[in-house]
Amino acid sequence: MPSRVRVTVISFSNHYHTDRWIDALQTFGFQVIQVQHPTEPGARSSEALHGLGRFPGIPMISAATAWRRAIAQTRPDVVLMLWAFARPGMLAALRDEWPLVLTVYGDDVRQDRRQPESLAERTWRRALLVRADVLTAAARPLARVIEGYHPALRDRVHLVPFGVDTAVFHPGPARGDGPVVIGHFKGDAEVSGRIDLLVAFERLLRAGVSARLLFAGVTGNLGSPCGRFLADHPEVAASVEDVGRVPLDTMPALYRRVDIYVAPSRRESFGAVLAEALATEVPAVAYHVGGVDAIVTSGEGGVLVRPNDADALTTALYDLATDPARRAKLGKRGREFVAAHFEWRDCVGRMARCLQDAADRRATRTPLPLRGFWPGL
């Protein structure tokens, strides 16, 4: 159990993962204070919440001054930034004496080299990454991207996956006979790849497979690609149940309603939904992108297929939909794998060690004007 280290979490708004980290770190003995911007209706009501209000039209320097003042009021031993949302203004807000632990997610850095990154974007990202004493990434591919911004970062990046509480995400009773239920809970934004799943599902129906789709998440309007597909394929639409956005505490029960979980994401730094699905003994089919191979490997909880390949996706779904014994075998293996590698409390323990390490090294940190200009600092 660490000493009573004061951790100040900075964020723009409340989020599921932010709340999870705050609650869990407190159980490890940390004194956690959140500085949030903007303060939104429905935000966590706590004496530890320091709302900054909104900054419409205020210059960067004024915003940086407000951030610095708010963080200083919390007297942090270490600052934890969940999501690298900062621009140069946030760099100016962080005092030299505050150690920084920065959790980097997939959209925080440029993972796809086919997408251009301007010199200005790379400069501020590099400056923020180098400013951090400790960085965390959910999977090794993302860690390699981070390390590519500066040689000094190779010794600062630690793997801290999104954990899954297997006591909450557990399998339900065995499902009886009936259509195979295929789940997708990430909405229909283009990056989620739901349109590829719809194409594959239509082929399953034409092949005579008895199946249904269960969707959750934010759904676009009827003019979206998925909306147009369903309008043009009424036989598919008749087999879809879309529950939309649901309370997070209902997600475990939602996974237990499906036989196969599909994640045809265009990009994915980790894939927490896959870990949650496997924890409930639901085998997964996913595009082989980003860090998903850390969770799903062929024969170890699910099947990985080539990205953006509807034919490969169809084949993988057909094979699982028509083989209940294999689904059961993969489901059990998947839960065992998640319990061994991604148990929530173990992942929180990794984050706790990162925070404790940053706090312990506070007195020996290199002055900021030198950091980032010399490899190894």
**Predicted pLDDT at 104:** 87
Q: In this structure, what token pair is assigned to residue 135?
A: 């960085």
pTM: 0.84
Question: Do both 231 and 362 map to the same domain?
Answer: no
Question: Do both 209 and 276 map to the same domain?
Answer: yes
**Predicted pLDDT at 3:** 59
Question: Do both 319 and 229 map to the same domain?
Answer: yes
Question: Do both 293 and 364 map to the same domain?
Answer: no
- Specify if 376 maps to a domain: no
**Predicted pLDDT at 47:** 37
> How far is it, in rounded angstroms, from Cα 26 to Cα 258?
34
Question: Do both 272 and 249 map to the same domain?
Answer: yes
**Predicted pLDDT at 10:** 84
Question: Do both 133 and 209 map to the same domain?
Answer: no
Q: Are 327 and 309 in contact (CB under 8 A)?
A: no
**Predicted pLDDT at 61:** 67
Tens-binned pLDDT, residue by residue, of the chain (377 aa): 455 899 999 876 566 778 888 999 999 999 999 887 654 444 443 434 444 544 444 556 677 788 888 899 999 999 998 875 555 667 788 888 899 999 888 767 776 666 677 888 888 888 888 989 999 998 888 898 899 989 989 999 999 998 999 999 999 988 778 999 999 999 998 989 999 999 999 999 999 999 999 999 988 777 789 999 999 999 999 999 999 999 888 999 999 999 999 999 988 878 889 999 999 999 999 999 888 888 887 668 899 999 999 999 999 999 999 999 999 999 999 999 999 999 999 999 999 999 999 998 876 665 554 444 444 44
Q: Are 226 and 198 in contact (CB under 8 A)?
A: yes
Question: Do both 55 and 159 map to the same domain?
Answer: yes
- Specify if 171 maps to a domain: no
Question: Do both 336 and 348 map to the same domain?
Answer: no
End-to-end CA distance of the chain: 29
- Specify if 169 maps to a domain: no
- Specify if 62 maps to a domain: yes
- Specify if 175 maps to a domain: no
Question: Do both 257 and 294 map to the same domain?
Answer: yes
* Domain, as residue range, for 90: 6-163+344-370
- Specify if 117 maps to a domain: yes
Question: Do both 64 and 148 map to the same domain?
Answer: yes
- Specify if 138 maps to a domain: yes
Listed residue (53, 58, 49) closest to 39, CA to CA: 53
Question: Do both 311 and 216 map to the same domain?
Answer: yes
- Specify if 229 maps to a domain: yes
CA angle 291/296/297 to nearest 5° reads: 105
Question: Do both 281 and 303 map to the same domain?
Answer: yes
Total count of domains within the chain: 2
CATH number (domain holding residue 362): 3.40.50.2000
